[in-house]
Amino acid sequence: MPELPEVETVVRGLRDPLVGRVITAAWLDWPRSLIMPDPATFQQQIAGQAFQRIERRGKYILCHLDAFALIIHLKMTGRLYVAPAQTTYGADRWVHFRFDLDNGAQLRFSDSRKFGRVYLTPVPADVVGSLGPEPLEDAFTPGVFQERIADRRGRLKSLLLDQEFVAGIGNIYADEALFRAGLHPLRTADSLTGDEQRRLYEGIREALQTGIDREGASINWYRKPDGSQGDAQKHFFVYGRTGLPCPRCGTSIVRARIGGRSTHFCPTCQAR
């Protein structure tokens, strides 16, 4: 599933072709992915709306229109791209939402597994209001992080995946952050010293920023809006590297199941 770096890359790639454009019509063939409102109301309300700005909140893409916010969650296999109306791409076979624009182009949402989610609402907080702080914003200081983790007791891997704790981290960057911090994924939050809390804070920000700098990880379905791949996957320390040597100590990276999620770590550098 695309995480903060992948979604941020998508947002940046959509701003230039979309901001200022007007949606003239919308088409969909998979109503289950439309969470709000109903399809008829959705098509009626979105027609004539212009893209004012596009931003990210956690793993959500927020397209702020004149009177509404078009909010999209890519889930596992979602792709967003802008294409000339008469042009056909390979990913079009899985397009379930299509937005006609006033310049003859289309915004297409391709989603083979149909797990993606689409919302149209005048109140974005109805969708993203429960998310935790953005880990790369200046307001997310070491002090804020330490306050938030102080009363937590769960396992670190599971805690990092909790979107109400910190927004945008998923399986990939949780593993990378924990490796950078030198912390075992089964350690509990209440076992951390002040120094370890600070290392985890820095590990989170470093892992996510590196992912953004490399324009996301194209491991499975993720592609940038122009169809090209990110290359963050070529620079992972532990994720997807089961059996390969740790880049720090040479110990083989191991894979375990924690909280139902595949987890990668170095048993030496991240001793429990």
CATH for 83:
3.20.190.10
Q: Which of 211, 203, 231, 206 is nearest to 8 (CA)?
A: 211
Same domain, 13 and 97: yes
State the pLDDT at residue 1: 81
List beta partners, residue 258. Answer: 261
Structural domain contains residue 272:
no
Q: Is residue 243 part of a domain?
A: yes
Q: Of the candidates 72, 98, 128, which is a domain's last residue?
A: 128
Residues 174 and 253 in one domain: yes
The verdict on whether 3 is a catalytic residue reads: yes
Q: What is the DSSP string of 211-252?
A: HHHTT-B-SSS---TTSPPPBGGGG-SSTT-TTSBPTTT-PB
To the query of whether residue 198 is one of the catalytic residues in this protein, the response is no
Instruction: Give the pLDDT of residue 20.
Output: 98
Mark whether 154 and 241 lie in a shared domain: yes
Residue 233 in any domain: the answer is yes
Are 119 and 177 members of one domain? no
Give catalytic status of residue 75 as yes or no: no
Q: Is 135 a member of any domain?
A: no
Domain that holds residue 30: 4-128
Instruction: Indicate whether 185 and 216 sit together in one domain.
Output: yes
Q: Is 59 marked active-site?
A: yes
Q: Are residues 19 and 71 both part of a single domain?
A: yes
Domain-terminating residue out of 128, 153, 182 = 128
117 with 185, same domain? no
Q: Is residue 230 part of a domain?
A: yes
Sequence-distant (6+) residues with CB within 8 A of 158 are 258, 259
pLDDT at 220: 83
The answer on 83 and 18 residing in a single domain is yes
Q: What is the pLDDT of residue 221?
A: 87
211 and 111 within one domain: no
For residue 270, tell me if it sits in a domain: no
Number of domains in the chain: 2
Look at residue 124 and tell me if it is in a domain: yes
Statement to judge: residues 182 and 116 lie in one domain: no
Dist. CA 182–CA 156, nearest whole Å: 12
* Active-site residue, selected from the candidate residues 57, 59, 117, 155: 59
Based on the domain organization, do 147 and 121 belong to the same domain? no
Residue 68: the pLDDT is 98
- The pLDDT assigned to 259 comes to 87
| pLDDT reported for residue 219 | 87
The answer to whether residue 271 sits within a structural domain is: no
CATH number at 165 reads 1.10.8.50
The helix or strand, by DSSP H or E, that contains position 128, with its residue range, turns out to be helix 125-128
CA distance 82 to 91: 12
Catalytic residue of the set 12, 75, 205, 261: 261
pLDDT computed for residue 206 by the predictor: 98
Q: Which of 128, 163, 193 is the last residue of a domain?
A: 128
pLDDT at 248: 97
Question: Are both 36 and 102 inside the same structural domain?
Answer: yes
Tens digit of pLDDT per residue, the chain (272 long)?
899 999 999 999 999 999 999 999 999 999 999 999 999 999 999 999 999 999 999 999 999 999 999 999 999 999 999 999 999 999 999 999 999 999 999 999 999 999 999 999 999 999 999 999 999 999 999 999 999 999 999 999 999 999 999 999 999 999 999 999 999 999 999 999 999 999 999 999 999 999 999 999 998 889 999 999 999 999 999 999 999 999 999 999 999 999 889 999 999 999 98
One-letter amino acid of 113:
R
Instruction: Report yes or no: 4 and 206 within 8 Å, Cβ to Cβ.
Output: no
Of the chain, the end-to-end C-alpha distance in Å amounts to: 28
